[in-house]
Amino acid sequence: MPVEVATRVLSADHDATLAAARALGDGGLVAFPTETVYGLGADATNGTAVARLYAAKGRPRFNPLIAHVADLAAARRLAVFNADAERLARAFWPGPLTLVLPKLLGCPVSQLATAGLDTIAVRVPDHPVAHDILAALGKPVVAPSANRSGHVSPTTAAHVRGDLDGRVDLILDGGPTSVGVESTIVACLGAPVLLRPGGLPREDIERVLGRALADDSSPSGEAPLAPGMLGSHYAPKTPLRLNARSVNAGEVLLAFGADAPAGAKTLNLSVSGDLVEAAANLFSHLRALDAVGASAIAVMPIPNDGLGEAINDRFARAAAPRP
Ligand code: TXA
Ligand code: MG
């Protein structure tokens, strides 16, 4: 159990953003909004702060963190960009894309944050609060999703507080996040490989690359290229029943589209069948239905194109057997 601290929650205005940068510079842990989900930040160059971050989340230390920077110029001080990485960064940064790249010689990010790997995950978030913190600090910030390890990712400051109150120094409240699922992770170490479907659809990436993205072929839960992609992750307490077209007694329903079966407590990801809206609602609806204490959450089928790939990935993990 990490040392209990007093957690401040501040509305993410200009002064709070500067206070956040100062707290990070002093080795503190600060949760802040990005366009995908809330992140729990620590100064990536401060090994002690990074160690505190792993403890606060209860995160296994073999699972490396994403370094967040303000712009491409700052990313070039951490990692080596091949031609594909260059093209993707120019097309999609700032935005919900993380690139896994060879670590630059002399990269200032703590070894603990990269779990001793010779690669590093880098991202430039597209959110004014995240950007202003990174610009004010002038250093990379490692920021996993601001939840306890294994829990559903937070899309509001209240979600963060529920998981991490007493474990982090500061939470900046910037309202609900717009994308709602974590960034897409692509490794550019040779031919580009999709490590985690996320907030940037595969189709957009393939259009810019001019070819198909390979999938991470390592067996789920064993030694995936993205070590955090363990089978059971993003897990609510209530079991999920996927591809449900009807609701059983005792179940609640996570619906999608206009023709949801009636009769149970229901939250709809998108009545109009919009996958962007569905991604934005995904984690808050899962948390709300989990709190009901139903026998299961019945989940209606979601198409697998666009953001549907990331949504279905999170459902599959949430429904996977628990370790
Ligand atoms: O949208 C996001 O990416 C959010 C926001 C806060 O930026 N962050 C996030 O971080 O989702 P986290 O720690 O929850 O997920 C990071 C994933 C993990 O699966 C981790 O294993 C993988 O990135 N990862 C980090 N460094 C890696 C590396 N060098 N090689 C392969 N995978 C890596
Ligand atoms: Mg996470």
Q: Check residue 210 and give left, alpha or beta (phi > 0: left; psi -120 to 50: alpha).
A: left
Q: How far is the CA of 293 from the centre of ligand 1 (A)?
A: 30
* C-alpha of residue 145 to centroid of ligand 2, in Å: 4
Taking each helix axis from N to C terminus, what angle separates 157-164 and 275-290, rounded to the nearest 10 degrees?
Answer: 40
Distance from Cα 145 to the centre of ligand 1, integer Å: 8
Q: How far is Cα 111 from Cα 236, in angstroms, rounded to an integer?
A: 31
Please tell me the distance from the alpha carbon of residue 136 to that of residue 164, in angstroms, as a whole number: 24
Atom of ligand 1 nearest to the CA of 225: 31
Residue-level pLDDT at 222: 43
Q: Where are any strands of DSSP class E within the chain?
A: 8-11, 30-33, 38-43, 66-68, 97-102, 119-123, 141-142, 170-173, 184-187, 193-196, 214-215, 240-241, 251-255, 266-268, 296-299
Buried/exposed 12-29: b ≥16 CB within 10 Å, e otherwise: beeebbebbbebbeeebb
Q: How far is the CA of 36 from the centre of ligand 1 (A)?
A: 12
User: Which amino acid is residue 273, in one-letter code?
Assistant: G
Residue with CA at minimum distance from ligand 1 atom 3: 183
> Which ligand 1 atom is the nearest neighbour of the CA of 63?
21
Nearest to 240 by CA among 182, 315, 189: 315
The residue contributing the CA closest to ligand 1 atom 31 is: 226
Q: Which two tokens stand for residue 123?
A: 């991202």
Question: In terms of C-beta density within 10 A (0-12 exposed, 13-18 middle, 19 or more buried), how is residue 177 classed?
Answer: buried
Q: Which ligand is nearest to the CA of 181?
A: 1
Residue nearest (by alpha carbon) to ligand 1 atom 18: 228
Nearest ligand 1 atom to the CA of 199 is 1
Please give the backbone phi and psi of residue 183, each rounded to the nearest 5 degrees, phi first: -60, 150
Residue 121 CA: which ligand 1 atom is closest?
26
For ligand 1, atom 19, which residue shows the shortest CA distance? 228
Measure the CA–CA gap between 86 and 218, rounded to whole angstroms: 26
Angle, helix 83-92 to helix 202-209, in steps of 10 degrees:
130
Q: Whose CA is nearest to atom 20 of ligand 1?
A: 228
8 Å CB contact between 225 and 218: yes
Which ligand is the nearest neighbour of the Cα of 184?
1
pLDDT in tens, the chain (323 residues): 677 899 999 999 999 999 999 999 999 999 999 999 999 999 999 999 999 999 999 999 999 999 999 999 999 999 999 999 999 999 999 999 999 999 999 999 999 999 999 999 999 999 999 999 999 999 999 999 999 998 999 999 999 999 999 999 999 999 999 999 999 999 999 999 999 999 999 999 999 999 999 998 655 444 455 665 555 567 889 999 999 999 999 999 999 999 999 989 999 999 999 999 999 999 999 999 999 999 999 999 999 999 999 999 999 988 987 76
Contact 201, 309 (CB under 8 A): yes
Element holding 205 (H helix, E strand): helix 202-209
Report how far ligand 2's centroid is from the alpha carbon of 289 (Å): 20
**Which protein residues touch ligand 1 with a CB less than 6 Å away?**
34, 36-37, 39, 63-66, 98, 100, 114, 117, 119-121, 123, 125, 143-145, 182-183, 185, 195, 225-229
